[in-house]
Amino acid sequence: MLNTNRESTKIVRRRPSRFDLIAGNVCLDFVNTLDDRYTKPKELLGTYIDLVRFCEDTAVMDSRQVDRLFERGQTDPDHAEKVLGWARELREAIHDVFRALMDKSPVPPAALARLNAQIQDALSHLRLVPVKGGFEWRFDDFGELDSVLWPIARSAAELLASDQLPYVRACFSKTCEWFFLDTSKNHQRRWCDMTRCGNRAKVRNFYARQKNSC
């Protein structure tokens, strides 16, 4: 497993969060940026700016890095659009790998190959930086447009190689199925979020029971 030390840079959030971050893990939250994936897919990463905002919301980049990428995205929109396409491909690769693991099916080789390519690229930008009492892994430069993909690919690599892997779940709601990491004590979490899906299911069950008892 890779070193999981988080960067010590203090992240200051200036804007309210745009994404519903319920997964407890960056790469799983990233998978959820295609909402209602299995029913009526809704793309939450409409533009390169959305992608940068995702990195801001998940605190994998600080405000200075985010501002630089906003600017660079505007000066090179064609490249930014390309990176957005790569990001969606990375997201689908991460989805396909975790979905297969949850379904206990073979991991699709194409998805794993795509993910591995992104991981190799991301890791080539890591370096050791001395900090108080030791060292930390840090990305060398968040100025490149595709640097938004690095922390996401790294997050997937870390989770896949960790002992947390058996606790990756999909929300029980068939119209939702958002991914999350179940860190609850008994590992019995069923819903992405109680208000989003849990309560709706409870209400449905309540009325179903009433109907049956009539």
Binding site for Zn ion (CB under 5 A): 171, 173, 176, 178, 192, 197
**Residue entry with tokens 């660079």:** 72
Residue 191 CB, shortest distance to Zn ion, in Å, is 5
Residue (31 or 52) nearer to Zn ion, CB:
31
Residue 178 CB, shortest distance to Zn ion, in Å, is 5
Residue 115 CB, shortest distance to Zn ion, in Å, is 24
Contact 127, 156 (CB under 8 A): no
Nearest-5° Cα angle at 189, 188 to 190 = 110
Residue (52 or 197) nearer to Zn ion, CB:
197
Residue (17 or 39) nearer to Zn ion, CB:
39
Residue (37 or 68) nearer to Zn ion, CB:
37
Contact 164, 181 (CB under 8 A): yes
Residue (93 or 171) nearer to Zn ion, CB:
171
Backbone CA torsion sign across 127, 59, 65, 54: positive
Residue 171 CB, shortest distance to Zn ion, in Å, is 3
Contact 138, 127 (CB under 8 A): yes
Q: How far apart are CA 84 and CA 50, in angstroms?
A: 9
Residue 136 CB, shortest distance to Zn ion, in Å, is 34
Contact 171, 192 (CB under 8 A): yes
Residue (154 or 189) nearer to Zn ion, CB:
189
Residues 6+ apart with CB under 8 A from 118: 86, 90, 93, 149, 153
Q: For residue 177, count other CB atoms closer than 10 A to its CB.
A: 20
Residue 201 CB, shortest distance to Zn ion, in Å, is 9
